[in-house]
Amino acid sequence: MSQSLLHFLDRFFLIFHTVFVLFNLLGWMWKKTRKIHLITIGLTLFSWGILGFWYGFGYCFCTDWHWDVRRLLGNPPVHRSYIQFLVRELTGIDPPYRVTADVTLVIFILLILLTVWLNIRDSLDRKKRRASNAPGAGPDA
C-alpha cells in the first residue's frame, strides 16, 4: 500500500471516527436524526459488546483498522482507547486510560437509555397524531 494512500486513510479514519463519536454524543438532540442515532448507538454497542466478546470488551473495528494504518505508517498507537487518542489529538491533553474508559462507559450507557427513550416517545407521539387525524377521530365525531 502506498504511503500517500496510508496518509489519506489515517486522515479519513481520524475525521470519520471523530464525526461518528460526535454524532453518538449529540445525534439524539434533533428529532430528524434520532432513528439514525439509535442505529449508530446500536452499531457501537454491537462492536463493543458482541464483537468485544471475541476481541475484548470495547473492541471497535474502526479503531482496529485505524491502528493498522498507523502501524503501517510507522506511527503505532500508544493509547489503549480511541477516545483517549482522540482527546490527545484534538486538545493535546493526555487523559489517563482508566478515567477515559470509565467516563466513556457511563456516557455511553446514558446515551443508550436516552436514545431508546426518545425513540419510543417519538414513536408513541406519531401513533397518537395518526390516531387523532384518522377519519371520525375529531371532536365532531
pLDDT recorded at residue 90: 87
pLDDT in tens, 76-122: 999 999 999 999 988 999 999 999 999 999 999 999 999 999 999 99
Q: What is the pTM of this model?
A: 0.87
Residues 6 or more apart whose Cβ sits within 8 Å of residue 138: 132
pLDDT recorded at residue 136: 64
Of the candidates 42, 14, 12, the residue with the CA atom closest to the CA atom of residue 27: 42
Helix ranges (H only) for 1-134 are 3-26, 34-45, 52-55, 61-72, 82-91, 97-133
**The cell 473492541 sits on which residue?**
59
Average pLDDT in the 119-136 region?
88
pLDDT in tens, 62-80: 999 999 999 999 999 999 9
Q: Sketch the domain layout of the chain as residue ranges.
A: 3-131
Residue 58 C-alpha cell reads as: 470495547
Burial of 89-116, coded b for 16+ CB within 10 Å and e otherwise, reads eeeeeebeeeebbeebeeebeebbeebe
